[in-house]
Structure 1
């Protein structure tokens, strides 16, 4: 309580007395309320909640003594200190005042110095009482909380005395621990700890004691508790101190919850965020994290490490011949075989598609080459049997040394990737060691000119966005809104536009794609802001996002800020993510989609059908639209297989509550087939060609 904000209630039937007291107390910056009779004072006090009451004795109606008695019997006012203001100084009157509950008195005629001294003293005392009351309130809160938890089967509660011995156990704790209450009372906390913790248990050194007894603050932590049968389980617990009236530590109350399953689930989610769902290997993000750790350590210990970048050869043949199910199974089996050829402390990762990375720690380049030869031999001897067919694959492996001359993980990844490319260009199914003076690698740098062109185009605003309409296959009121996809093009001289297929692969390969995604989103939002007076309220703009962008937490922050800056309604935006990107980073994609859908955005799964093994993932992704892969759409007029695939995707999408969009609709024959199937929307050159926004 701040003294300058103290509140005082004056109760006196004589207005001049009230005015005099108000004038005296006004110099202390107190907040003053007053009443001319006891009845009104009894109504004011519970609401005003003064820190002190100055109460006259002789008043009509009910006198000061009776008013004091009633204030002290009301739970809302019984804590408020009362000073009587009286001309009666005889001992009997004063005794009666104190018996009623008064804590002091001021004699009449009123003297300013006496009023100030006694009021300030009582305000200070009330401040101390409030602090003390706060401690009592904490204890009462804990007691109420304990009582509530006694009826809970999920949380266990026990209390400890100053020696760390148990003096209370609730029924839930009995169930969780497997002990009866009578068996635990007077037992040491040690009996609940795992054998590892109990062997070195000293109560005065335990965190519950040091936090509650010494720091006197609540303590939250995770621990391993032991049951009566010596089995253990993980708990999250909160320990709060108990104190007596003088604030002395009397023990602690501990509330705990069995979080074994939650921890296992959290571990599973963490595993999904750092591992590839198909192969179980670590993913690209975690691989880069471990590469960064190696690069940091090499600056200190001067040790040498090796990185391999592997790209499978002839993998596409398996997919094209037997479908993605066969390709997925090949990746699973081959990943297991490769992991068995490297040392247990080495790292194998799936970087994406049919690309793998290997980190060999404490390994010279010569040893790394031998390890790569073993891996290549393993891959060459592998056979996949599928649908009565046998498949073999090869691998192009790029090797780079990780030493103190390396500048960044980006450089290392690029060098390994270039070496892998050189191996592939050199005839495939071979190993290539990175060398700065390598002619083949110098030629590869020509391909990297796109990196410079992309950066320059972003800096000089040399990109443009176009739109292509997405229309209902069957016009209905339900689909009566403007819907189009936003497309990016690069400009160059003579008003020529470069299609995205020319530069997006380089942007993906060299980690520029997120910058492009940011540029497209910002350009679209500016366009909507500048043209909102001409646009329908229910316009829906579809924007493509790369898999790498979906994995960036900072991109969500960028989007939220852009929505606010340009005052864009999230319901006007539909983000498109390719099926491959979503499945490759399932946990990240689900998290990304959920956050933005909660914000009001829509989502479409693009190129669906390009990975038929992913039907099972469709239920897990909270999307609104399914864009069917154009390769199937183009063939539905003449291919019964393509027709059946499109129909199955459409039917499954509708069962799951998703709307379907057909891409590459190039003529009326395709559109008519889509009407028969029941696809919701169509997009393609047969409907609308991309045009500038």
Structure 2
């Protein structure tokens, strides 16, 4: 029997090294995966069609989605069109290189492209790309690492944009932008193209002083001051700003404005200067033109008041002890020629006057035109008051010759400036000078009079100022001063009864006492305070009328003086009638007195106003008749009721030879024109007899009574009633 035997043959091979290699490989793979999963960069692989075959988990941190989701995306879902085209073109180029057997098989490429995140936003990636090869070395795909470079890329883009903007700005600047050394020649490191337009030299000619230095361009008189100004601002690290002139390539001088600053190192050393230089020639020309216009009169070309004020202010501060004075030539009377000869005629006359006066100009005698019709000489270093007088008289002689044919004169005022006072108000000086010239004008007839501003004139001016302040306080009802009325009776010569009382305004101030109407009324008119003050007078007079009525004197009226300013106010009549109605005043008891001067410039308007007032029952009287401006030919046209014969003609009745008196003619003429007459200023019996004999209607004056306070009026009326004991049948009848 054959028995089979099972034989086992075993081969034992030592695979320790292999196992160790496998273990090492596994460990290496774990480490690699651990690295790729935890690194910030994203590691990836694709085939040659850019289909992702692997991507590290770090992609979730980079793109905001898992590796699996990213691997499902197509290339066009990963890259913006332009970036995809750029990547594809680069890969195609690399595949073409693969045909070259000598190409480096280990080469890699770095590309910066935009990439979509999961939310659709775009970031910038830096991609380091190389080929994946098989065992034979054939390219079978791509691999690489991507990192986020968005912050850097945006910074680079912003920098490039800034550089682009700077380049555009520099190329379009109207001037020269620069960077230069802080040295004697201002050696240029950078010069913009604007150099050609500004200086006429190409930019490269100034770079590092190739053909000339910037210092050569600066006009010689400015070089030292520019250097000192740079030294000053650099010492305190302030910006530099200075206007100066340069000499262009064609030899022309140009005004430039340089604005710059120093560039300092960390140690505080000056590394360079940077700035811009602009052509300001046009604006400088305009500035100089505007300065000329602001300092000169456009008609004569003389320096104006502003320039005079500035010069006086500067000179006063010098304290050099020189005598200084102002001589004003007031030609305001030239305006009287406008109506007859026109505006241009008077302007030519002013220019001729300026030419005449200019002949007196020296280095010590400067001429200014301070107003349309006023000139001022500013004199320095003169000897004494006598020299000023001779100078003024010489001017007067020339101007009298010029203006003789025009039959007008002017005024010359002189003001000496105190040498010791360095705090003088220049405006006050010129106001005082104007006062002196106006005073001269007031006292001049056909010749120029010279009037010095002195203590007496100062006192007069101060007094006028106090009066104006008092009037303003009264008008505003804020003063302790008093404007009150006194009443002077007007007597009918037919009945010897009182027809009315003239309300006469009086002013009493705390500092000046009683002030004459001849003083305060012109000031009230000049300041236009006559309007509110006139209303106060009207109201007071109406109160007086009301009291007369209550006492039984309802046929006696009141006469109120009205200025032209009041009468021509648009609402004068309405306000007057409103007051009458409110205070229950009858218009027939009211007379308004106006002077002939009212008719000079507004004859028709005034007559229309008077007709309106008379139509309502108000009586109108022409005050001071015979001394004003109206012609007898126009008297018939005046819409008035009374002519008040001025005291001047009444005084003439005191002459022994009454055959020369024209008072009777005035009375007769007035009656023929339909006006009644009132004689003013009657003080003597013989005057009264004459007036009664020649048919004068009414009289007023101290012979009848002085102006009375309201309380004394009723005593006066009572006394007359007791004396006459005659019926008051026709009192108040016109």
TM-score by length of 2: 0.41
Whose relative contact order is higher, 1 or 2, with alpha carbons under 8 Å and at least 6 apart? 1
